[in-house]
Structure 1
């Protein structure tokens, strides 16, 4: 149906974009303060970037990627997440050869084919950051604290930070063996996905959302009990740093995240206000992803936060402004023959001074224009351009909030209005 957006996608209407602008402004300010610079990668990549980077055993690659072949026979994929493309850009442009660490952020649309539901779309938007070139626990703590700071600045309440360590290539084999031994007798009772995960990546079974699999793996060994000394010391330091920063967290030994590239620190942020799809963001450390994509050993740490789920949470918590008024500083009403040209010229002159100005485009009566200025645009000042006034070289300035009006020389109007708006701005600042 041509009058409907494709299933799993959503229009962002003019009445909603101001909420996105608010979030984008907070993102830009936050990243500037934390020392992150923006990177923008293509919306599609060579499919191998995600098959090698995200992992062939993940649900994302197996079930959710939008893969296609272009007219040149190239296998391409719409990006389902932002880390692997950022790593590809890091390698292509040799950003790792400059000063370390490299700290970047991105925001934009991602694409995953899944069953659309509340808070989950096939085209969705993420805000993410990546830090390359540092293995210290301070980086892990900064990334986590930054995510929580982002939500705090937007006023979110009742969100919970879940934290875990999933080890490294040195200690993970011991956990893998113990986990497989525990689950082997129950393998045939698992869902089809977990049967496949048993050999490819059994740790992912702990993250299965099927109630049956959750019960079967309830007492299964977790990664924390098998951490090597380095991973254990690293995780202890991360927790100490978060405590020092006043960032509250809950240890969740079953948290493994849905991407194969994670090592050591993994975290997730949840909100109970948006139903079953409670995760609003998460991330972790990925010290071997750059090598996996063909680069040198460059450690990494980052997060990806879903913006649709964030907006849904803000709406549920009453944090979104619902007023529909499109505020303008000035509305110009024109009445009579030859007045529109003068009104249009005044409007453009005032706009060039940085003022928000609107005028009537529909030949309505003065009464209707004043109603529009007041109700729709909440304009504190209306400039009335009439035939009689123009013959005298004047216009009428009406102060809507005071209920007063006066005639002023046409040539003085721009300077007079600019001065009035500046006075109002200074008064609002206190």
Structure 2
């Protein structure tokens, strides 16, 4: 009697080692950025295909949770719900930087903080200038302010084989401050009529979340239901629901107690980051980036003042803001540039900061109410981010080539002298570059 073969389960769960490998890959910026890029490409192709009506129908399909008083479209669920997970991870990263990272001391924080603030202010100013001179609406002033850290770090990771590690650290710190600025802008300027009872409930939930952390209470069954309740109350209060995510991220403890292998913030970030990078942000991109890219639509990007202001803000505004902010801070304060970096590196990084995808698309949806205007602004975000990414890739590839030449020259010199190779990438002084 022959033994029956075990049946294969279609679309079943992957084996544990494979799931672990995929999760670990999604924790890297390169893979997360590529998944995000793939989702955006699918959205663009789908929205401009003969099946575009199906795309719109799915994006506008409504379903809700009556117990939480929610009835949202699929597009709004991804923007208000799934992005809260992205902002939770951003909040944890911000807390870590404030407690143990680059932002913990004024001396190390000064340059990236000034660069981030100027990198938000100058694009907003350029948008206002372009929109006002063209007789357009000023409502979109905040759209070109945000840098998409996943895309930016993915581009940097693909290019960087010999660039100094300090460049990535600078970009990370800049992006953390940039995220904080975007969150504050969303909370202050894009809040609808407030429901103070719901807002008070959300605040009470955050206080309870804080108390549980202080008492060292562990167990997901405490925090997951509480987090969902805080998010729902925040949404119903009129404040954008993603603020709940970053608030909980900032409350989570990022320092280890004696005997702890990881802090609560590190554990949550480790568990949630793959879902954020592999599901939450790509699904948001799938339903936010589906805009028309016909000749007429692209014509509006460069003809209408609002989308043109977004493109100029992302491309020119970020370069001027980040680079000049860094230079002026180093020139007129006690802050100094990391000796591993040259000013040409900062210029390339400033161009990279013009990639403003995820948060820029979200702010575009919040800033405008007319569907046609929203589509044009989204197209402008895509065009501006693409131009910024291409320009940054050219600049940083040249810098990478230069560092590679220095690396090879030093290796040849050390081989000839018989000295062991102790070269560290980027260890040259900036004057040698």
TM-score using structure 1 length = 0.21
Q: Which has the higher helix share?
A: 2
Higher RCO by CA contacts (8 Å cutoff, separation 6 or greater)? 2
Task: Work out which of the two has the higher radius of gyration on C-alpha atoms and give 1 or 2.
Answer: 1
Give the TM-score of the pair, scaled to structure 2: 0.21
